[in-house]
Amino acid sequence: MDLETAIRDRRSVRQFTAEPVGDEVLRPLIEAATLAPSAMNEQPWLFAVVRDKALLERVSHGGKAATLAMMEAAGAPRERLEKLKSPAYDILYHAPVLIVIASANAGPWAAVNCGLAAQNLMLAARAAGLGTCWIGQAQAWVSSAEGKAALGLPADCVPVGAIILGYTAAFPPLVPRKPAEVKWIG
Ligand SMILES: Cc1cc2nc3c(=O)[nH]c(=O)nc-3n(C[C@H](O)[C@H](O)[C@H](O)COP(=O)(O)O)c2cc1C
């Protein structure tokens, strides 16, 4: 698949088949992530690739509880709280794989470096026929001491993104985009 198609046809996928995703499929995606630029070429990214069902469930429950607590504290609308409280709602959408990208250091470019790596990974996954979705609702738990320990990540790293991945069961339509605000100068 060419880059233009991968960019235009990437979607946040939330329905996956049960087909397992092998190491031979995942390794090139991680490699694509590491081809991203990074400040001073530090390449500070660390990856936790989770396929273990019990750990996926733990991330889902932990992320759900942490997100619910934050949303309640922020006075989120009742419907959003109800959705999160539903036992049927899995914040990881039953995806077979979760990849957490973390920065080994908390420097000023941690989020940018790992965000660039994440986008490479998501586009490479699209080109390989896989679907992905960044799960912000997993962020608080994977960033907690308990989450980092469960993922085998160092206690002082900074998790930046949690991305689910798998073979797509339902390909969503394009989510509409706003026109870009651009100042053309010269
Ligand atoms: C930082 C970030 C956090 C997100 N968190 C969630 C999430 O917790 N759950 C979810 O279903 N989608 C999540 N998304 C996906 C967005 O909803 C999605 O990217 C947006 O609606 C645009 O759709 P598209 O990715 O299909 O173009 C997140 C995306 C980003 C970049």
What pLDDT, on the 0 to 100 scale, is given for residue 50? Answer: 98
pLDDT digits (tens, 9 = 90+) for 119-173: 999 999 999 999 999 999 999 999 999 999 999 999 999 999 999 999 999 999 9
Closest C-alpha to 141, from 57, 47, 52: 57
What pLDDT, on the 0 to 100 scale, is given for residue 170? Answer: 95
Cα 137 to middle of ligand 1, angstroms: 10
175 CB less than 6 Å from ligand 1?
yes
The amino acid that residue 136 corresponds to is G
The closest-lying atom of ligand 1 relative to the alpha carbon of residue 11 is: 26
> CA triplet 1, 12, 17: central angle to 5 degrees?
80
DSSP tag of 144: S
Please report which confidence band the pLDDT of residue 55 belongs to, taking 50, 70 and 90 as the band edges.
very high
What pLDDT, on the 0 to 100 scale, is given for residue 39? Answer: 98
What pLDDT, on the 0 to 100 scale, is given for residue 47? Answer: 98
**145 CB burial (10 A radius; 0-12, 13-18, 19+):** exposed
What pLDDT, on the 0 to 100 scale, is given for residue 60? Answer: 98
What pLDDT, on the 0 to 100 scale, is given for residue 38? Answer: 98
What pLDDT, on the 0 to 100 scale, is given for residue 70? Answer: 94
pLDDT digits (tens, 9 = 90+) for 57-102: 999 999 999 999 999 999 999 999 999 999 999 999 999 999 999 9
133 CB less than 6 Å from ligand 1?
yes
Nearest residue by C-alpha to atom 4 in ligand 1: 136
Report, in angstroms and rounded to the nearest whole number, the Rg of the chain calculated over CA atoms: 17
123 CB less than 6 Å from ligand 1?
no
Half-sphere exposure of 127 (CA within 13 A, CB side): 17
Please report which confidence band the pLDDT of residue 31 belongs to, taking 50, 70 and 90 as the band edges.
very high
* CB within 8 Å of 41: residues ≥ 6 apart: none
14 CB less than 6 Å from ligand 1?
yes
Query: What is the rounded CA–CA span in Å between residue 3 and residue 9?
Result: 10
Nearest residue by C-alpha to atom 22 in ligand 1: 175
Cα 133 to middle of ligand 1, angstroms: 6
Cα 164 to middle of ligand 1, angstroms: 11
Give, in words, the CATH class of 3-167: alpha beta
The closest-lying atom of ligand 1 relative to the alpha carbon of residue 161 is: 1
Give the three-class secondary structure for 97: strand
What pLDDT, on the 0 to 100 scale, is given for residue 29? Answer: 98
**101 CB burial (10 A radius; 0-12, 13-18, 19+):** buried
Q: Is the four-CA dihedral 12, 70, 83, 139 of positive or negative sign?
A: positive
161 pairs with which residues across the strands?
A: 101
The closest-lying atom of ligand 1 relative to the alpha carbon of residue 67 is: 8
Please report which confidence band the pLDDT of residue 45 belongs to, taking 50, 70 and 90 as the band edges.
very high
What pLDDT, on the 0 to 100 scale, is given for residue 171? Answer: 95
